[in-house]
Amino acid sequence: MHSWLIISDYISIKQLLYSKLFNVLSDFTLIQKIQCIEEKKIPLYKDRNNSRILYISGVAQQLSKSHNCTTMEIADSISSKLSATSGDVFVVKIVPPGWIYLELTQSCLAVWLQNLAVGRLGQEEKIGQGKITPKFKNQNPANIFAVQSAHARCCSLVLQGHREGLIKLKEPLPDTSPAFGQLVFPEPIPWLSLESQLCLHHPTERYLIAQLVQVVDDLVCSNVDDAINWQKVSIKLSQALENFWCQCRIWGEVKISSQELAQARLGLVMVTQRLLRFLLVEKLGVSAPLEL
């Protein structure tokens, strides 16, 4: 319950980590805390390993320059406090010479996916509302069409899942919606195995999840001066969806032998549809067709 409440308060994983680091840094100088957090100067980077959701921070190195402590001592102090307050949300590890590794737990990743799939994130209305300077204005029609095609595929798969009884959407279905219909069944989506491990472990599934996490981080945590090519972001997400669809089946034998896996994959499609629609409408200024 604790981890559910913590992660449900945040749209992006990076936003969550910023908040936790903000609280821990209050034990150091207040001035340093304000400089690090409010000016987004805390070094926090998402690892490129798609098999896990891992962030790496060099904040201990940053603080060691202004404190009479070694980098490892500061890293150990931060790590201990993070583990004590949020150990069920992410696993904390220190790597010499003072890197802090923050890996999201499988159960919390499942909560994050569930919240985004059904639109239960409390701050969702604020997603992507920050004023981000558009430095990439030229749009390639072929790229836009590819993203719209990926969105339409998501809608088609979700509707097919509804018709075949794998999932159930609230009827009547709306003509247009960020979530493209409200999920009624299953509740929750069976993201986890009996061993509390994410059942989506194929490389293309993990890559798609990593892209979803990155897109939400970009939408929520970007600064005004960040140069984000939203067309490139959208293409990358749509390609991840297509690769996933080519490698990971939902129907046929998968539906018969592992209904929970089929439902989890449909849940992943629902999350992708939500973000593709937002990117198309809010960032690229074009329509998000339900079919082509």
The span from the CA of 117 to the CA of 270, in Å, is: 6
Q: In a 10 Å sphere around its CB, with 0-12 CB exposed, 13-18 middle and 19+ buried, how is residue 131 labelled?
A: exposed
What does the pLDDT read at residue 118?
A: 86
> Residue 226: inside a domain, yes or no?
yes
Closest Cα to residue 15, out of 211, 209, 221?
221
> Residue 109: inside a domain, yes or no?
no
Closest Cα to residue 202, out of 239, 171, 240?
240
- The CATH number assigned to the domain holding 61 equals 3.30.1360.70
Q: What letter represents residue 116's amino acid?
A: L
Same domain, 141 and 277: yes
Same domain, 85 and 171: no
Same domain, 61 and 190: no
> Residue 145: inside a domain, yes or no?
yes
What does the pLDDT read at residue 26?
A: 73
Kind and range of the H or E run holding 257? helix 253-257
Cβ atoms of 100 and 79 within 8 Å: the answer is yes
Closest Cα to residue 213, out of 16, 61, 25, 71?
16
Residue ending a domain, among 64, 89, 104, is 104
Same domain, 264 and 137: yes
Q: What are the contacts of 170-176 at 24+ separation with CB within 8 A?
A: 175/290, 176/288, 176/290
Bridge partners (DSSP) of residue 93 are 101
Same domain, 176 and 231: yes
Same domain, 266 and 185: yes
Same domain, 57 and 137: no
Give residues with Cβ within 8 angstroms of 244, minimum separation 6.
202, 204, 205, 207, 208, 268
pTM: 0.90
What does the pLDDT read at residue 1?
A: 40
On the question of a cis peptide bond just before residue 186, with omega within 30 degrees of 0, the verdict is: yes
How many separate domains does the chain show? 2
Look up residue 249 and give its two tokens.
């089946």
β-pair type (168-169, 99-104): unpaired
Bridge partners (DSSP) of residue 92 are 102
Sign for the CA dihedral angle at 29, 31, 37, 43 comes to negative
Q: Which domain holds residue 59?
A: 2-104
> Residue 110: inside a domain, yes or no?
no
Same domain, 89 and 132: no
Give residues with Cβ within 8 angstroms of 171, minimum separation 6.
none
What does the pLDDT read at residue 132?
A: 45
What average pLDDT values come out for the chain (292 residues) when binned by 10 residues? Answer: 58 89 71 50 88 93 77 91 89 95 95 87 52 59 95 94 92 66 89 93 97 94 75 96 96 94 97 94 91 85
What does the pLDDT read at residue 67?
A: 67
> Residue 196: inside a domain, yes or no?
yes
> Residue 114: inside a domain, yes or no?
no
Same domain, 224 and 260: yes
Cβ atoms of 136 and 227 within 8 Å: the answer is yes
Same domain, 42 and 173: no
The span from the CA of 240 to the CA of 285, in Å, is: 22
What does the pLDDT read at residue 22?
A: 82
What does the pLDDT read at residue 215?
A: 95
